[in-house]
Amino acid sequence: MFNLPQWAFDALSILTQLFILAIGVAALVALYMYARDTTQTADAVRRNYPVVGRFRGLFTTLGEFFRQYFFALDREELPFNRAERDWVYRAARGKGGTIPFGSTKPMTPVGTALFVNCPFPVLDDDAAATQPMRIGPHARQPYDAPSFFNISGMSYGALSKPAVRALSVGAKKSGIWLNTGEGGLSQFHLEGGCDIVFQIGTAKFGVRNEDGSLSEKSLGDIAALPQVKMFELKLSQGAKPGKGGILPAAKVNKEIAKIRGIPVGKAAISPNRHPDIENIGDLLDMIARIREVSGKPVGIKFVVGAYGWLDELCEEILKRGAESAPDFFTVDSGDGGTGAAPMALMDNVGLTIRESLPMVAEILRKHGLKQRIRIIASGKLLIPGAVAWALATGADFVQCGRGFMFSLGCIQALKCHENTCPTGVTTHKKHLQRGLVVREKSDMVAEYARTITEHVEMIAHSCGVAEPRKLKRKHVRIVQENGRSVALSDLNFVSDTLTRQPDSQA
């Protein structure tokens, strides 16, 4: 018979006692949970099925992760499916956008945009580099924006410190602008040396007096920075039209509170609109005021819902003179994203960019202001086809937020508002931020921007034009209910009757 040494018997004895202890502790915990579940009144499942009912909450929490990795098909997730996310991940890692076998994208659903390839596409030797486009010709310091694809507004506060730093450095490497979002300007936005678009939200964070009004001194100080190229006056955004920005209290630390000019540890809830802008006249007066103080281009950001006000705005501009116009419109989509927003607004309010962008471009053309007011398209435009569609439809620029979040490592965990982002992109917890290494992620930001540009150019060349801004509506066809497609240029997006709707104050 095999004899075990004494130390082995001692080890087995200890392990046996630990096992018995663990069983006892587990039994006590189960007994405690049973007592708690049967006496509590908030959760009916736990009250009727003590202990076991707790697994429902666990499985519900884990379900979104299991669906993403095991059950959801490549093209069925929302807000972005696996195919879209994987394209961004590959692009950000410098692996290009090449895929094998065949497309998994359905080509037949109504509304699908299809580009019409030319029988004699542009050769690489004949391709033209996209030239900088001037914004704000009547400002003292116009901005010659070098890239048609840029980073949209995401504030420091909604994003973490390393995320903003990586975006700044990556934007500089790729020659694109970085929009600050409504949370004010931090040193981390400036760190990389990129061009900055300063967004002025309804609370005027970073350029506000104590009463929330515009501080011309603060505005002038920020405008004096050479990196700050433009100012964007935000009227509304796609994820929460009619509701101001929301930064949960857990994210308002001392540093963010100082930048924004708000109390520490208190949720930052912006007004639903600018209190000092009540009508079209007030809006144009504010634009003129900001442009006069800053000397730089000033535009407005909005999501389209009611749109008769756009006609009224254009008519007032023509009365005052073209120099009074906003230098750009940033048109956001009703399905745009944000760090935190009420579901009631996110799911139900605002037109998507697919409907609103061609409408806005048509209204500006009708009033002869398309060349005066640049159009920046925003909202889920993170892959080459979407960007090319926007340029062909009437946009001069495209800016994207969540595509760049994916390039930083975002996995669509949907925890942006809870300060528990597992990849460090939208959390202020140091141990979670540790995963976001600025040097590596800034390279991925730059590579994603470069790959988007390259592949949009590829679509343009296939359509027979030398560079993306030469794409027109005639280069796109839209699938109809009968399964056939019609040219985008043949569709009527705004009739005279519709544009005259009396909804400017709606």
- Which range has the worst mean pLDDT, 178-187, 308-317, 411-420, 436-445? 411-420
Helix axes 438-462, 82-92, angle to 10 degrees: 110
Task: For residue 113, count CB atoms less than 10 angstroms from its CB and return exposed for 0-12, middle for 13-18, buried for 19 or more.
Answer: middle
> Residues 79-138: pLDDT tens digits?
777 778 888 888 888 887 777 767 778 888 898 999 999 998 998 888 888 899 999 999
Are 176 and 151 within 8 A, CB to CB? yes
pLDDT band at residue 73 under the 50/70/90 scheme: low
The whole-number average pLDDT for the span 342-350 is 79
- Provide the pLDDT for residue 379: 86
- What is the CA angle 354-355-361, rounded to 5? 95
Q: Using CA atoms in the order 291, 180, 142, 394, what is the torsion angle rounded to 10 degrees?
A: -100
**Residue scoring higher pLDDT (255 or 198):** 198
| One-letter amino acid of 239 | A
Are 420 and 432 within 8 A, CB to CB? yes
Q: Mean pLDDT over all residues of the chain?
A: 87
Closest CA to 301 of 350, 238, 349: 238
Query: Other CB atoms closer than 10 Å to residue 24's CB: what's the count?
Result: 10
- Provide the pLDDT for residue 408: 92
Q: Does the bond joining 79 to the residue before it have cis omega, within 30 degrees of 0?
A: yes
- Provide the pLDDT for residue 497: 41
Tokens of 80: 């972005």
Q: Which long-range contacts (CB under 8 A, 24 or more apart) does 12-19 make?
A: none
Closest CA to 182 of 332, 349, 352: 332
Query: Other CB atoms closer than 10 Å to residue 411's CB: what's the count?
Result: 17
Tokens of 270: 């912006």
> Residues 392-437: pLDDT tens digits?
999 999 999 988 998 998 888 777 777 888 888 988 888 888 888 8
Q: In the 8-state DSSP scheme, what is residue 202?
A: T
pLDDT surpassing 90 at residue 452: yes
The whole-number average pLDDT for the span 476-504 is 74
**Residue scoring higher pLDDT (506 or 45):** 45
pLDDT surpassing 80 at residue 293: yes
Task: For residue 135, count CB atoms less than 10 angstroms from its CB and return exposed for 0-12, middle for 13-18, buried for 19 or more.
Answer: buried
Q: Does the bond joining 384 to the residue before it have cis omega, within 30 degrees of 0?
A: no
Query: Other CB atoms closer than 10 Å to residue 413's CB: what's the count?
Result: 16
Are 166 and 347 within 8 A, CB to CB? no
Which range in 238-247, 267-276, 335-344 is most confidently predicted, on average pLDDT?
A: 267-276
Are 218 and 204 within 8 A, CB to CB? no
For residue 132, give the 3-state DSSP assignment: coil
pLDDT > 70: percent of the chain: 92
Are 231 and 290 within 8 A, CB to CB? yes
Helix axes 438-462, 161-174, angle to 10 degrees: 40
Are 231 and 296 within 8 A, CB to CB? yes
Query: Other CB atoms closer than 10 Å to residue 287's CB: what's the count?
Result: 22
**Residue scoring higher pLDDT (49 or 228):** 228
> Residues 199-208: pLDDT tens digits?
999 989 999 9
- Provide the pLDDT for residue 87: 83
Tokens of 336: 């745009």
- Provide the pLDDT for residue 63: 64
pLDDT surpassing 80 at residue 178: yes
pLDDT surpassing 70 at residue 500: no
Closest CA to 196 of 228, 226, 165: 228
pLDDT band at residue 139 under the 50/70/90 scheme: very high
pLDDT surpassing 60 at residue 275: yes
Collect all residues with Cβ–Cβ distance below 8 Å to 151 and sequence separation of at least 6.
Answer: 167, 171, 176, 177, 178, 179, 399, 400, 401, 404
- What is the CA angle 426-428-430, rounded to 5? 120
Strands 228-234 vs 298-303: parallel, antiparallel or unpaired: parallel
Q: In whole angstroms, what separates CA 293 from the centre of its chain?
A: 29
Closest CA to 260 of 161, 186, 151, 188: 186
- The helix (H) or strand (E) run that includes residue 29 is helix 6-39
Tokens of 141: 């310091």
- Provide the pLDDT for residue 65: 64
- Which range has the worst mean pLDDT, 206-210, 320-324, 388-392? 206-210
- Provide the pLDDT for residue 189: 95
SS (H, E, C) 431-448: HHHCCCCHHHHHHHHHHH
| One-letter amino acid of 27 | A
pLDDT surpassing 80 at residue 242: no
> Residues 209-224: pLDDT tens digits?
888 899 999 999 999 9
| CA separation for the pair 500, 506 (Å, rounded) | 13
